[in-house]
Amino acid sequence: MKNVLFVALALVLLIVQSSLSALVSLHPFVPNLLLPMVLYLGVTPDVTLGRGAALAFGIGVLADEVTGAPLGLDTFIFVAAFLLTRVAGLRLFLRGVPFQVVATTGIAMIAAGAMLALCAIFEEPEAFPLVMPPLGVLGTITTMLWGEDAPLVGRATELATLLVATGLATGVLSPLVYAATRRADTFTVRTRRAATES
């Protein structure tokens, strides 16, 4: 029952995430709403290692299927995030919302970086991976400082912006996801308790 509820919640979060991106142009602040859910599974002692990994795997497959990401990318990241959280033994939920936001932002940035790294490792290299630095004063300074290497700096800036923005967006929205996941978690406990009492 609890597993089904978690998967259903993951589906809802995916729909929200996709609808949000379709309605409003969030780039580069694109949140990953499923990651906080996986982190919750990692820090909750009620969820065993095998069950948590399986849930993270299922959520990842769902994300890969729905978002159109390379098959296995989200799955690997989610299972890895779950295992790392479990090993690290973070107690996010005992330390309030600010800690949740900060910790989730950090982990989301690492996860986004891992995704980029995996794609870089397995995918064919891009034909033209360079990005021109932004126009204006910043671009001028970059070009003045680095000359011909300015496009490389532009690429690095773009990737860094992407990582930080994704991490921030995920971190800011994470308390809501944690609250929803906790509610789904306690719902099953309450239902079971009510059934036992009756």
Partner 1 sequence: MARGALSLLASRRPECRARAPRFGPVVSQFKRIREIAIAIALLAIPFFVLNASLRDPSRQSWLDQQILSLLSGVQSGGTSAARVFSQFFDDYVYLVEVREENARLETRIARLEAERHQLLDEGLENRRLRSLLQLRERVGGELIAAEVISRDIAPPFFRVTRVEIDRGSRDRVRAGMPVLSGQGLVGLVQRASGRSCEVQLIVDRRAAVDVIVQRTGARGMLRGTGEDERYMARIQYLGREDALRVGDLVHTSGLGQRFPPSILVGRVTRIVREDFGLYQEVEVSPAVDFSRLEEVLILTEGALGDTVADVADEPPARRP
Q: Can you read off the two tokens belonging to residue 28?
A: 């580069």
Asked if 114 touches partner 1 (CB under 8 A), the answer is no
Query: Is 106 in contact with 92 (CB distance < 8 Å)?
Result: no
Question: Which member of 72, 96, 106, 129 binds partner 1 (CB under 8 A)?
Answer: 72
Q: Can you read off the two tokens belonging to residue 127?
A: 């034909």
Asked if 71 touches partner 1 (CB under 8 A), the answer is yes
Residue among 175, 190, 170, 163 nearest 40 (CA): 175
Minimum distance between the CB of residue 97 and partner 1, rounded to whole angstroms?
Answer: 29
User: How many Cα neighbours within 13 Å face the side chain of 80?
Assistant: 14
Asked if 61 touches partner 1 (CB under 8 A), the answer is yes
Question: Which member of 73, 92, 111, 180 binds partner 1 (CB under 8 A)?
Answer: 73
Asked if 125 touches partner 1 (CB under 8 A), the answer is no
Residue whose entry in the numeric block shows the structure tokens 């900060």 = 102
Residue among 79, 74, 63, 72 nearest 16 (CA): 63
Asked if 165 touches partner 1 (CB under 8 A), the answer is no
Residue whose entry in the numeric block shows the structure tokens 């033994």 = 89
Q: Can you read off the two tokens belonging to residue 142?
A: 């970059």
Q: Can you read off the two tokens belonging to residue 145?
A: 């400082």
Asked if 50 touches partner 1 (CB under 8 A), the answer is yes
Asked if 44 touches partner 1 (CB under 8 A), the answer is no
Which residue stretch of 28-36, 38-46, 61-69, 132-140 sits at the interface with partner 1 (rule: CB under 8 A)? 61-69
- Which residues of this protein are in contact with partner 1, per CB under 8 A? 48-50, 53-54, 56-57, 60-61, 65-66, 70-73, 75-76, 79-80, 83, 118-119, 122-124
